Amino acid sequence: MPSSTIQWFPGHMAKARRQMEENLKKVDFIIEIRDARMPFSSRNPLIDELAGKKPRLVLLSKMDKADPEDTKRWIEALHNEHTSALAVDLIKGGFKNKVIARSLELNKAMIEKQKKRGIRPRALRAMVAGIPNVGKSTFINSLAGRKAAMTGDRPGVTKSLQWIKAGSDLEVLDTPGVLWPKFESQESGLILAALGSIKDDVVHMDDLAIYCAKYLSEHHPERLIETYGIEKIEETPWETLEAIARKRGWLQRGQVDENRTMRTFIQDIRSGKLGRITWELPPVADAHQSEAADDAEEAAKREDEQA
Ligand SMILES: Nc1nc2c(ncn2[C@@H]2O[C@H](COP(=O)(O)OP(=O)(O)O)[C@@H](O)[C@H]2O)c(=O)[nH]1
Ligand SMILES: [Mg+2]
């Protein structure tokens, strides 16, 4: 069962939280994995509470699918005294030494303190945490050079903990902390569903398609124009989708086949046909987001009225 189909009942959440609290006592810092295409929506704010003052290395995974310029912006925005961010392609690899170097830097104060007290610094210890599907197992397995993180997928599954050695300076718990995706805003729900990180039966395909068409019209109009060979971006996202459908022949008896259009468009987004896209920008540059969510809400309302 893919981890994205986990049903998060309150009992699961409480157990996952307790397990994370237990494991956190054993580590110096946290490696939090978020999806580079949605660094905001793929986080669970509970981690701030649980992490307390422990340093945090945020890995923006799936950088191969995110817009490189937007990833740079996110990395800058995430950087602060206790937090450092790195973009990674967990499938391609080649991140291990960067992760180690960054971990040493993040924990410099503690290492210095140990040295001053005459203690030879031991390997740094970290736990990996994040919502389902961000790449926790892929990361741990890659460090281990084998399949280590198997049972960690399910909240509350206990087993004996093992340390995965990433060289002599870093050890990572083989069991990741699994947090649940948050649905605090309608936008986050739409983005998580559009990227396949939550089941899409909790949102309408139409809302997803309209939201994505609107976001792309505003941020990457050229992608829509080039991918589908349309003339221009129309006044509304739906009109743009209609133009795409006509161009592509997603028709039924000469009319735009709405279902097929919405479904195929979302499939194209998920398969990466429209290129590397980041679906949300760091807070400062983020004026269009709520606007797009409002539109999706309006579209849903219209649909309800029609029904
Ligand atoms: N393209 C790409 N896919 C990734 C990356 N990291 C993980 N994946 C894929 O994302 C899916 C979820 O990864 P997994 O490690 O199971 O996530 P987990 O639920 O957090 O343990 C798998 O299909 C991985 O192959 C990445 O950096 N790039
Ligand atoms: Mg996993």
Is the beta carbon of 90 within 6 A of some atom in ligand 1?
yes
Q: Which domain holds residue 279?
A: 186-306
Q: Does 152 have pLDDT greater than 50?
A: no
pLDDT tens per residue, range 288-304: 555 555 555 566 666 55
Ligand nearest to the CA of 128: 1
Is the beta carbon of 138 within 6 A of some atom in ligand 1?
yes
Instruction: Give just the sign of the alpha carbon dihedral 178, 180, 182, 187.
Output: positive
- Is there a single domain that holds both residue 84 and residue 216? no
Q: Does 121 have pLDDT greater than 90?
A: no
CA distance linking residue 238 with residue 226, whole number of Å:
18
- Is there a single domain that holds both residue 155 and residue 44? yes
- Is there a single domain that holds both residue 149 and residue 287? no
Q: Per DSSP, what are the bridge partners of residue 256?
A: 251
Provide the domain count of the chain: 2
Ligand 1 centre distance from Cα of residue 137 (Å):
7
CA distance linking residue 239 with residue 245, whole number of Å:
10
- Is there a single domain that holds both residue 195 and residue 287? yes
Is the beta carbon of 65 within 6 A of some atom in ligand 1?
yes
- Is there a single domain that holds both residue 95 and residue 190? no
Is the beta carbon of 270 within 6 A of some atom in ligand 1?
no
Ligand 1 centre distance from Cα of residue 89 (Å):
9
Ligand nearest to the CA of 138: 1
Q: What is the pLDDT of residue 280?
A: 95
Q: Report DSSP state, residue 107.
A: T
Q: Which of 14-23, 67-76, 194-203 has the highest mean pLDDT?
A: 67-76
Residue whose CB lies within 8 A of the most ligand 1 atoms, among 92, 131, 133, for a mutation test: 133
Ligand nearest to the CA of 6: 1
CATH code of 283's domain: 1.10.1580.10
Last residue of a domain, one of 178, 204, 229: 178
CA distance linking residue 79 with residue 39, whole number of Å:
13
- Is there a single domain that holds both residue 142 and residue 197? no
Residue whose CB lies within 8 A of the most ligand 1 atoms, among 35, 63, 138, 142, for a mutation test: 138
Q: What is the pLDDT of residue 74?
A: 97
CA distance linking residue 159 with residue 82, whole number of Å:
30
Instruction: Give CA torsion, residues 58, 63, 281, 106, to 10 deg.
Output: 20
- Average pLDDT value for residue range 200-214: 88
- Is there a single domain that holds both residue 274 and residue 204? yes
Instruction: Using pLDDT thresholds of 50, 70 and 90, give the confidence band for residue 147.
Output: low
Q: What is the pLDDT of residue 6?
A: 63
pLDDT: which is higher, 148 or 186 = 186
- Average pLDDT value for residue range 187-215: 89
Nearest protein CA to atom 26 of ligand 1, as residue = 62
pLDDT tens per residue, range 68-109: 999 999 999 999 888 999 999 999 999 999 999 999 999 999
Q: Per DSSP, what are the bridge partners of residue 33?
A: 59
Instruction: Give just the sign of the alpha carbon dihedral 199, 43, 111, 108.
Output: positive
CB 152 within 8 A of CB 175: yes
- Is there a single domain that holds both residue 139 and residue 236? no
Q: What is the pLDDT of residue 186?
A: 87
Q: Which two tokens stand for residue 137?
A: 């197992």
Is the beta carbon of 62 within 6 A of some atom in ligand 1?
yes
List, as ranges, residues with CB under 5 A of the ion ligand 2. Answer: 136-137, 153
- Average pLDDT value for residue range 46-72: 95
Tell me what the pLDDT averaged over the chain comes to.
Answer: 88
Ligand 1 centre distance from Cα of residue 269 (Å):
17
Q: Does 208 have pLDDT greater than 80?
A: yes
Ligand 1 centre distance from Cα of residue 135 (Å):
4
Q: What is the pLDDT of residue 283?
A: 84
- Is there a single domain that holds both residue 138 and residue 194? no
- Is there a single domain that holds both residue 172 and residue 85? yes
Pick from 59-68, 105-114, 265-274, 294-303: least confident:
294-303
Atom of ligand 1 nearest to the CA of 149: 21
Last residue of a domain, one of 133, 153, 178: 178
* Type of residue found at 192: L
CB 181 within 8 A of CB 192: yes
Q: Which two tokens stand for residue 55?
A: 């340093």
Nearest protein CA to atom 8 of ligand 1, as residue = 135
* Type of residue found at 99: V
Last residue of a domain, one of 178, 201, 229: 178
- Is there a single domain that holds both residue 274 and residue 222? yes
- Who contacts 56 (Cβ-Cβ below 8 Å, separation ≥6)? 29, 30, 31, 32, 47, 82, 83, 84, 106
Instruction: Using pLDDT thresholds of 50, 70 and 90, give the confidence band for residue 3.
Output: very low
CB 43 within 8 A of CB 32: yes
Pick from 95-104, 180-189, 258-267: least confident:
180-189
Q: What is the pLDDT of residue 297?
A: 58
Instruction: Using pLDDT thresholds of 50, 70 and 90, give the confidence band for residue 151.
Output: very low
- Is there a single domain that holds both residue 126 and residue 190? no
CATH code of 145's domain: 3.40.50.300
CA distance linking residue 173 with residue 127, whole number of Å:
5
Ligand nearest to the CA of 131: 1
